[in-house]
């Protein structure tokens, strides 16, 4: 985390029903709208990013609703699981890990699911380091009259999102990824059709109720006690993003993604993701034949203090992932690649 | 907040699926068990305290369940509202504000609601500064075979709670009150009968699913990305409580409550709460005749930098509340009373 963000968490607390908080909160919400390129509503909740799956399920879906889920990895799988847990009739489009869901594939799935109420998408699938083509997929879903519900946990703030221009309906993220903050705030953007849908659904909801939250947000209040120190962090982090410039932040992530992939290629390592859809916030690669992923991850940590992640689900022990989102620059990637080279030369 | 807590939030983040986090998390959970005087399960979620109402509703209640709610103020009202929002058949025991619900009253309500599945109680009603007699009320509910579900947001960590000795079933709080932390962590304690009940209820749940959380907690993990900086804060704060000694903390709150009530009495101010059930974490009083509560609150803030709260709901504009929970000592109360005296002399 940037020092400015750590420092922001030490600002003195203010009463969350007072005018000072309201002014702060409204400005934060407005800035988040700009960063999502939208005039739609932005709502915050105390919660991890994965609260976004549940907020979608309880506000925008009803038991029995036909829903098409693009499952491109572990997070897509969980979004589908949450929807089916809440009673939706989920039709999964299962992609081999490392591949994106392409518009033609989504179109075919929607033709096979007439009357589908919604499409569940993972913008950037963290488990496979793939970025799904959100603009094109959204266009396909809209043609079929299905709402587009997007998990943008590892893309928002790092990879371009044009909420209004692409006409997305619902998109969420968490404070802890490219937003450069500690975890604990769920960020939701909801457009016109999503609000219409909330009026149709008769589900039980209170804590996650989008309408209750919006009513309070308009006054500069929150429906429950807000996690103030984390909101201060988010304020500082989003101010840094605006200062660098949102396009410059996206460019930096693009450059870091390119550097990482090129560097791993030069080390002779095989990447998981289809190059046409490779993520600019995370890269996944396989260790050389005969070397355990865990060995490399442990040596990177113990010898260089660099934290890499393993894989998830069926690739848990065979994959290595490098995060390059948020407060990361070229030097960080260079150091990581140099360290990795050292480790590889001696395994 | 104590400086140790502010400082703890700056500890470097560790991966939340690694052994260092697990060890930390298990120790934190064990300490919270000691502080609730229980060997039952303690679960944490990112969320405000009010998540506890919803966690109870989705895990322990089903639509149509008869539930008796002790409504002693605004927070009791909201607990009842959440339960009815999720479809429970809520029988409200409405008390005049300032009064506690006494065992005889709960017993009568339960006789009139045969087969009631649960009793909803607010241990310390923040809106009225009343502490309901939880031990006695729990005994009554158990006699009727109803689960006891307790909002302890403004009592836990400041007012005695004997989860096991009193045989409570479910009790929750949030990190921001007597736990001396920023808001953002919901703390739930659930006993044997509560776990049995979760196996009977067929409600849709995922984020708040107690079983999913417990399964992960046993491994030292969390079901979603944990709000690590806030958990560090909670670790530091609960360590401070254990260092001071839980009984000493309770004694301090008792002394602060007595001091506050005595001091306000000497200033000729009328208290809202029935003295037999007056809270030791918050005190509510009326301004002198002809003086607006807002005038006093504003002058205390602008002239002395002391934050008092107004009332809630129908007493929003006519009541003043002093919080004396968490990181507060005798001198703080003395300064507050001296300042209040000054303000009263010149209104």
A207 touches chain B (CB under 8 A): yes
DSSP conformation class of A271 = B
Q: Is B227 on the interface with A (CB under 8 A)?
A: yes
A237 touching chain B per CB within 8 A: no
Q: B99: left (phi > 0), else alpha (psi -120 to 50), else beta?
A: beta
CB A182 within 8 A of CB B233: no
Considering the domain architecture, whether residues A314 and A171 belong to the same structural domain is answered as: no
Q: Out of B47, B174, B207, name the one closest to residue A50 (CB).
A: B207
Q: Answer yes or no: do A207 and B54 touch at CB < 8 A.
A: yes
Residues in A touching B51 (Cβ below 8 Å): 46, 207, 224
pLDDT of residue B99: 98
- ipTM confidence score: 0.90
Measure CB to CB from residue B46 to each of A9, A48, A226 and give the nearest one. A48
Does B76 lie in the same domain as B14?
yes
Identify the pLDDT of residue A16: 87
Stretch A152-167: mean pLDDT: 98
Which chain A residue has its CA at the smallest distance from B83's CA? Answer: A206
- A42-A28-A235 Cα angle (round to 5): 125
| Closest chain A residue by Cα to residue B203 | A86
Under a CB-based contact definition with an 8 Å cutoff, are residues B170 and B191 in contact?
yes
Helix A246-266 and helix A228-244, axial crossing angle in degrees, nearest 10: 80
**CATH number, domain at A189?**
3.40.640.10
Q: Which is nearest to B261 in space by CA: B251, B252, B272?
A: B272
**Crossing angle between the packed helical segments B330-345 and B246-266, to the nearest 10 degrees:** 20
Chain B residues closer than 8 Å to A224 by CB: 47-51
The CA distance from B340 to B347, in Å, is 11
Mean pLDDT for the stretch of residues A174-179: 95
Grade residue A213 by pLDDT with cuts at 50, 70 and 90: very high
Is the model's pLDDT at B147 over the cut of 90? Answer: yes
User: Which pLDDT score is estimated for A194?
Assistant: 98
Terminal Cα distance for chain A, rounded: 31
Pair (B233, B119) in one structural domain? yes
**Residues facing residue A42 across a β-bridge:** A189
- Angle at the Cα of B299 from the Cα atoms of B294 and B302, rounded to 5 degrees: 125
**Span A295-305, average pLDDT:** 95
Decide if pLDDT at B208 tops 90.
yes
Identify the band that residue B14 occupies on the pLDDT scale cut at 50, 70 and 90: confident
| Tokens linked to A177 | 């990824």
- Which residues make beta-bridge pairs with A130? A125, A278
Q: Transcribe B125-143 into DSSP letters.
A: ETTTTEE--HHHHHHHHHH
Where is the domain boundary, A225, A243, A261?
A243
Question: Is residue A151 located within the same domain as residue A268?
Answer: no
Mutate to test the interface with A, among B9, B207, B236, B323 (most CBs of A within 10 A): B207
Question: Both B77 and B126 in a single domain?
Answer: yes
Q: Does A18 have pLDDT greater than 90?
A: no
A230, B48 contact by CB (below 8 A)? no
Q: Tell me the pairing of strands B320-323 and B309-310.
A: antiparallel
Strand residues in chain A grouped as ranges (E): 41-46, 66-71, 89-94, 118-122, 124-125, 130-131, 147-151, 170-174, 185-190, 282-285, 309-310, 320-323
Q: Would you place residue B124 in the very low, low, confident or very high pLDDT band (cuts 50, 70, 90)?
A: very high
Residues A122 and A221 in one domain: yes
Provide the 8-state DSSP code for B40.
S
pLDDT digits (tens, 9 = 90+) for A220-271: 999 998 999 999 999 999 999 999 999 999 999 999 999 999 999 999 999 9
How far is B80 from B74, CA to CA, in rounded Å?
A: 10
Residues of A in contact with B49 (CB under 8 A): 224-225
Residue with tokens 């996206």: A250
Domain end point (choices B196, B222, B243): B243
Q: How far apart are CA A304 and CA A282, in angstroms?
A: 19
> Which residues neighbour B259 within 8 Å (Cβ) at sequence distance 6 or greater?
B330, B333, B334, B337
The pTM for the full model equals: 0.93
- Choose one of B243, B273, B300: the last residue of a domain: B243
CB contact under 8 A, A206 and B53: yes
Radius of gyration of chain A (CA): 20
- Cα separation, A11 vs B247, in Å, equals 31
Q: Is B307 close to A15, i.e. CB distance below 8 A?
A: yes
- CA–CA separation, A337 and A85 (whole Å): 41
Domain that holds residue B237: 3-243
pLDDT at residue B13 is higher than 90: no
Give the C-alpha separation, A143 to A166, whole Å: 13
Shared domain for B203 and B265, answered yes or no, is no
Q: How far is B165 from chain A (nearest CA, A)?
A: 31
Q: What is the CATH number of the domain that holds A281?
A: 3.90.1150.10
| B311 has a chain A CB within 8 A of its CB | no
The whole-number pLDDT of residue B119 equals 98
Chosen for mutation from B206, B211, B308, B321 (greatest number of chain A CBs closer than 10 Å) is: B206
Q: Least CA distance to B84: which residue of chain A? A: A204
Nearest-by-CA chain A residue for B232: A182
The reply to whether A164 and A70 lie within a common domain is yes
Put simply, the answer to whether B86 touches A204 (Cβ < 8 Å) is yes
Q: How far is A48 from chain B (nearest CA, A)?
A: 6
The pLDDT of residue A195: 98
What does the alpha-carbon distance between residue B230 and residue B236 come to, in Å, rounded to a whole number? Answer: 10
Size of interface A-B (CB pairs under 8 A): 126
pLDDT of residue A115: 97
Q: Given a cut of 90, is residue B77 above it in pLDDT?
A: yes
At B151 the three-state DSSP class reads: strand
CA distance A96 to A292: 22
Neighbour tally for A295: CB within 10 Å? 12
Stretch A80-91: mean pLDDT: 98
Q: What is the mean pLDDT of residues B315-342?
A: 97
Residue A263: C-alpha distances to residues A267, B48, B204 (Å): 6, 44, 46
pLDDT in tens, B93-110: 999 999 999 999 999 999
Dihedral over alpha carbons B76, B77, B78, B79 (to 10 degrees): 50
Half-sphere exposure of B234 (CA within 13 A, CB side): 29
Residue B46 to residue A224, Cβ atoms within 8 A: no
Question: How far, in Å, CA of B91 to CA of B70, rounded?
Answer: 9
B216 touches chain A (CB under 8 A): no
- DSSP three-state, residue B309: strand
In this structure, the number of other CB atoms found within 10 A of the CB of residue B276 comes to 11
B231 plus B254 within the same structural domain: no
Q: According to the model, what pLDDT value does residue A14 have?
A: 86
**In B, residues 16-45, which contact A (CB 8 Å cutoff)?**
none
Mean pLDDT, range B261-284, rounded to an integer: 98
Inter-chain residue contact B225 with A48, CB threshold 8 Å: yes
Closest by alpha carbon to B306, among B268, B273, B332, B279?
B332
For A75, B144, B282, the CA distances from A130, given in Å and listed in that order, are 11, 56, 52
Same domain membership, residue A227 and residue A144: yes
Contact B51 A46 (CB under 8 A): yes
Same domain, A334 and A195: no
Which residue, among B56, B59, B183, would best test binding to A if mutated, counting the most A CBs under 10 Å from its CB?
B183
Determine the 3-state secondary structure of A130 from DSSP: strand
The minimal CB distance from B9 to the residues A9, A48, A307 is found for A9
**Contact across the interface for A225 and B57, Cβ inside 8 Å:** no
What is the C-alpha to C-alpha distance for residues A42 and A102, in angstroms, rounded to an integer?
28
Establish if B63 touches chain A: CB-CB under 8 angstroms: yes
Question: Percent of chain A at pLDDT above 90?
Answer: 95
- Do A130 and A234 reside in the same domain of the chain? yes
The number of folded domains in chain A is 2
User: For residue B128, is pLDDT > 90?
Assistant: yes
- Average pLDDT value for residue range A272-291: 97
């Amino acid at each position: 985390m940037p020092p400015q963000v750590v420092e922001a968490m030490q600002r003195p607390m203010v009463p969350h029903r007072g005018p000072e908080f309201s002014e702060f909160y409204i400005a934060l919400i407005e800035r988040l709208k700009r960063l999502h390129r939208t005039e739609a509503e932005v709502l915050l909740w105390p919660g991890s990013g994965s609260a976004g799956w549940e907020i979608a399920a309880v506000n925008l879906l009803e038991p029995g609703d036909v829903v098409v889920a693009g499952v491109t990895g572990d997070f897509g799988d969980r979004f589908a699981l949450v929807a089916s847990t809440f009673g939706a009739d989920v039709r999964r489009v299962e992609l081999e890990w490392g591949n994106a869901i392409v518009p033609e594939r989504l179109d075919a799935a929607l033709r096979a699911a007439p009357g589908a109420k919604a499409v569940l998408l993972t913008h950037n699938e963290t488990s496979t380091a793939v970025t799904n083509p959100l603009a094109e997929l959204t266009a396909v879903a809209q043609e079929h009259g299905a709402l587009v519900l997007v998990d943008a946990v590892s893309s928002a703030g790092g990879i371009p999102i044009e909420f209004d221009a692409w006409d997305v309906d619902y998109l969420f993220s968490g404070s802890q990824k490219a937003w450069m903050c500690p975890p604990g705030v769920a960020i939701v953007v909801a457009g016109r059709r999503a609000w219409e849908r909330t009026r149709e659904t008769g589900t039980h909801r209170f804590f996650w109720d989008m309408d209750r939250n919006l009513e309070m947000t308009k006054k500069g209040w929150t429906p429950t006690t807000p996690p103030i120190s984390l909101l201060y962090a988010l304020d500082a982090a989003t101010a840094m993003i605006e200062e660098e410039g949102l396009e410059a932040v996206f460019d930096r992530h693009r450059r870091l993604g390119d550097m990482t992939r090129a560097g791993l290629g030069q080390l002779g390592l095989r990447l998981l993701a289809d190059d046409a859809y490779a993520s600019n916030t995370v890269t996944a690669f396989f260790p050389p034949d005969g070397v355990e992923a865990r060995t490399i991850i442990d040596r990177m940590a113990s010898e260089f203090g660099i934290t890499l992640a393993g894989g998830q689900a069926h690739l848990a022990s065979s994959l290595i992932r490098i995060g390059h989102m948020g407060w990361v620059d070229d030097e960080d990637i260079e150091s990581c690649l140099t360290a990795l080279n050292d480790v590889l030369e001696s395994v």
